[in-house]
Structure formats: structure tokens, C-alpha cells
Chains A and B, each alone.
Chain A
């Protein structure tokens, strides 16, 4: 009975869909089944997973955080500037992650202390963080800091900061066997967040806030603190994504990750999270992110043009969800039939 429940869960459907997708893409294009290439291609979407996984927490609590894509750039340029200033690159990495945490905390405080919709707040911070990231090199230049490059500190703003140490580049270049480090890291991150969401009081509070914030208040949930932490995780995840991209691009740039917003949100909602709060799982987001990522990579490998990929991905997204809803309706119908027939039987 319990197994049947697992089989009927959305996560299982996603898992089946992922296997089916890999199977079909592999059959159509045997090149795609080259395991090394397949795993290497995860590098092109792990940053989306890094940001989408913790965003799930925020969305479960009926929030939203669209500022993550700017936090990526902010974390990246911070890492670069701190490293240029002569700090060890891994210490710079820690500072970049701290910036992500602070950015998340800023969002969290603003959201939890006011009744302003989080979409508007994080739209504001989306602009603000992007602006800060763009302007930071110029600002430091004005403040009189010296640069080592030829064109001065301000040039970092458009040329990026390069020459990062090999040990740092190895974070994304390296792999355990044929599994790239970032993919391992994302799986570990998912595990931690999953435990946090499903095995702790914090996780249950998130669902409660999402389902019924009033009930949460009356049952003594420290709403503000819980919310701040949710946004902090989101900021931290975005900063991780920014750091990962910095290593992958071998350069720190203020504008990286800017186009990831819609893929991130798509992964979360396809993963089963309700944008109005109260439902969603980390596993769902992880699977959905992988489905979308491999689909894109698989279609690209087939030589499908970018325009057509957008159409195909959009259509499949709708079809998958429509199928889910149809099944749901059919299930309800069957339940009712069963109830009726059992009554008639008596």
C-alpha cells in the first residue's frame, strides 16, 4: 500500500519521465549515450539547480525570490575583486558566499518585516544587486584602489577578472571518475536541503506558513525567523551558483547567470511546488531541473535550433502538466465510481 503511494507520487512520475527522456534521446542519437559527455553536460545546468533547490524552500513558504540571478553576478565579481586585492582565492570564495547570505538576509528581513509582496521586493533587489555588481569596480576605482591590470580597475567591469588560480578552476574542471565535482556538490546540497525540509521543525514550519500563515502565527511559529532563513538559503544557493560559474568560466564577471531566471522558476514549479505556497519537494525540483537540463542538452546534441528547442520545451512542459491533471481528474472519477459501486453493492 505504501509502495503504491510512492508510485503515484509526482516525484516518481518525474523520475520515470527523466528515464524515458534519456532513453528516447539516446535511441534517436546514440552519441548522447556517451556517459562522459552526458555527465559533462550537467556543468551547463548545475548553476540552475544550485539556485532552484533552495528557492523551493522560499516558494513552499508562499514567497518568491527572483533576485538570485543578480546575486550570482554579485558573488562572482566580489570573489574576483577580493582575490585581486591579494586574498587567497578560497577565502575570497567564502566572502562571496557570505555576500550571498547577506543578500538573502536582506531580502528575508524586508519580506518578513513588511507586508509588501516578495515579488516586488526581490524585483527591487534584482535591480539593486545587479547595479551594485556592475558598479562595484568603478566605485572601488573612484575610492582610489589600485588595480594590477592594464586598463585599470574599472575595466574589470566589462573584461571580467581572469587568471584565477588553477586550484580554483579545478573545482569545476575536476571530476570524481567521470562525475564532475559540481554535479556531486549539487546532489549533496539537495540531500542537505531535503533533510532540512522533511526532517526538521524548520521544514514543517515552511509548509505551515505556505498553507496557512494565520494558523502558523497562532500556533507560535517564529514566522519572521523562519522566513529570513528561507531567503538566506536562497541567497546562499545563488552565490554557490555564481561561484561555480566563475570557476567554470575561469573568470569573475558581474553579469553571469542573468538569463537563468526563467529556467530556475520552471524547474521549481515543474518539480511540483505551488507558486502560491504550501507544496513542493527538493527531490521534485532536482528531478525537474535535470529533466529540463538534459532535454535542452539532448536537443542541442541533435542539432535542433535554439528557437525550436524553446517551442519543444514549452510544449512538453504543458503536456506533462496537462497529463498530470488529466490523471488526477481520472483518479477522482474512479474513486467516486468505486464509492458509488460499493454503496450499491450493500
Chain B
């Protein structure tokens, strides 16, 4: 008797929690981040939902809570089963999602990528913040611009980001290291350290790095945890302002460090706009529009964009129609002068 009761209770609980869920038959687009709970992706999600409201379509922002390929696949499969019309995803792995994306396309779902791309065969458009080349160069430029004589005396730099297996950050850093070797042979890369998206480690690791190399000139941190962590470590050790700390992160988390002068400049792109652009393009495709390489159009709140061929990212594959790369109009370098213009 008790057993029956408890089971009924469990059932009632589930029912009560979700009975309200209704299903509309409008355009439904899913916007999937690498992981939820990170300022960068949450802001992208907000942009996506805002564009959805503007267009009068349903946009759902959700994804795995840890950066895991299997988690993303789960979401793709589920959105496909739920009959979504389009999916825009920031892929954790360039090829890990292939099978799930292939199944989605077979079932008529339009696939876009944003922030991190997949193999171009398995998506229509990639809403890109810039090529690995552009972003890697930007990392080096931001560090060099803060030096008095970047090409003069010997310099010591280090890299600090999330992990040796994360795709995009490694691609940028590979470019950055190549740029340093070519243009700044006087820079010595003393170490490349990782904090695995652990905020506590993101402070501990650069602390040890600064102490092990007291003459370090710059730390380059293209990761949302690593940049504030390194800035905090510099402040804790009382060397803020004496050492260059730069990289990629969101303005809101970096604002206090910029205001105090610990971080003079860091970069990113406007991820809110990226989210808006992804949803706008997805909706165009759902409505049946055909886009070709070279097409140009205006997007409200975002600006003028152009469809580029896949080759700008170094791919060989190029589909006839509805396949290519759409670059965000600009990347932003945040400094004390412009940081208050951004809220994400």
C-alpha cells in the first residue's frame, strides 16, 4: 500500500511540474551553448532570445551544464525529436557532433553554428566572430601594444587558458605562438598553463607562474575564467599594472580589473550581436530563403553582413547554396574608455 502511494506520489510530482508545458506550432529555434552558466554564453543566449521576440518566433536557449560533447549531442537529439525547425550551436568538438547533426539534417532540421564551428558538410552557415588567424593575431597585438618596445629587449610571456583539449582556444594560441615566432623573436614563451575552468585554480596557477618567473612580462589568457583569475593573482601579489594581463573574457566580469588598471586592454566580440545574427539567419532559412556566397544583407541591431565562402576558414568543402560563413562585423578591444558601453 505504502509502495503504491509513494509511486503515485512520484508520478503526481512529475505531472504537476510539467503539466503546464504547451506546444505551439510556430517556428521553433534552439540556441545551444557549449555550456550554460558562463557569462559569455548566457549573453549570447540573451541576444538570441531577444531577436526571437523581435521576429515573433520561439527561441529556446539551453545546453549542458558542463562542457561535454555527449551533453551537446543529447540536446541536439532532443530538439530534433521535439520538432524544432532550426538549431544554432556552439560546437565543443569540430567533428564530435557529426552523427547527431547528420540525423538532424535528415529529419529536415536546419543547422547553424556560432562561436565554434563544425565540419561545413554538417551545417548551413557558421556565424563567426573571426577566423582563428584574426583572433590569434589580436591576442599578440593586444600584448604587444602595451609594451614600450615590443621588438626590442627580450620579453618573457606565458599563456593561460582552460585545457589542452579545448578546440578553439588551442587554435588561437597555435596561431598566436606562430605570430610571436615570426614577428617577435625576442619573446620567450616560458610556459603554457591550464586551469580547467576551475575558478580557484585560475587564481592559483598564475600565482605560481608569477612567482616561478618573477621577470614575466605578459600573460595571455584567451579564456573566460583564466583572464579574471590571472588579474586577481596579479592584484593579490601586488604586481598589478607592472605585468601585462590580457586575453578574451566578458566586459562585466573584467570591469573592476580594468577600472583599477590591472588589465589595460582585453578583447572579445559582441556575443549578444552574435546570438541575434544567428537567430536572424536561422529564421531566414526556415522561411525558405536561399543565400549564396557573396550575398549581402542588413540585420537589425547588428549591421551589414556578408556571406563569405568556407575557404576563409581554410575549408575545402563548399556547398552550392545555403552554405558558408557569415562574419560578425567587428571584434572589440575593451579598455577603460569604452568598457562602460557594453553590458554582457
Binding site for B on A (CB under 8 A): 13, 16-17, 20, 24-25, 28-29, 31, 34, 37, 40-41, 43-44, 47, 134-135, 138, 151, 155, 157-160, 162, 169, 172-173, 245, 248-251, 253-260, 296-297, 299-308, 310, 312, 315-316, 319-320, 323, 326-327, 330
Contact = CB atoms under 8 A, between A and B. Distances in A.
B146 interface: no
A269 B234 CA distance: 44
24 contacts: A31-B82, A44-B70, A44-B77, A134-B164, A134-B165, A155-B174, A158-B166, A159-B171, A162-B98, A169-B99, A249-B73, A253-B165, A255-B165, A256-B68, A256-B70, A259-B64, A260-B70, A297-B74, A303-B21, A304-B17, A306-B36, A306-B63, A315-B13, A327-B6
A155 B167 CA distance: 9
A173 B99 CA distance: 8
Contact of B70 (A37, A172, A257, A326): A257
A44 B60 contact: no
Given A28-B15, A259-B70, A306-B65, 7 more contacts: A37-B81, A41-B77, A41-B78, A134-B163, A159-B94, A159-B171, A169-B99
Contacts of B60: 303
Contacts of B2: 323, 326-327, 330
Given A259-B68, A305-B62, A250 B95 contact: yes
Interface of B: 2-3, 6-7, 9-11, 13-15, 17-19, 21, 36, 60, 62-66, 68-71, 73-75, 77-78, 81-83, 93-99, 119, 163-167, 170-171, 174
Nearest to A40: B77
B70 A157 contact: no
Given A158-B166, A160-B94, A250-B99, A16 B69 contact: no
A43 B74 CA distance: 9
B3 A306 contact: no
A306 B96 contact: no
Most chain A CB neighbours (cut-off 10 Å) among B13, B60, B71, B164: B164
A44 B96 contact: no
Contact of A310 (B65, B73, B93): B65
- 6 residue pairs, one from A and one from B, having the closest CB atoms: A158-B170, A323-B6, A249-B96, A162-B95, A251-B95, A255-B165
A307 B3 contact: no
Contacts of B99: 169, 172-173, 248-250
Contact of B21 (A20, A157, A159, A302): A302
A316 B11 CA distance: 10
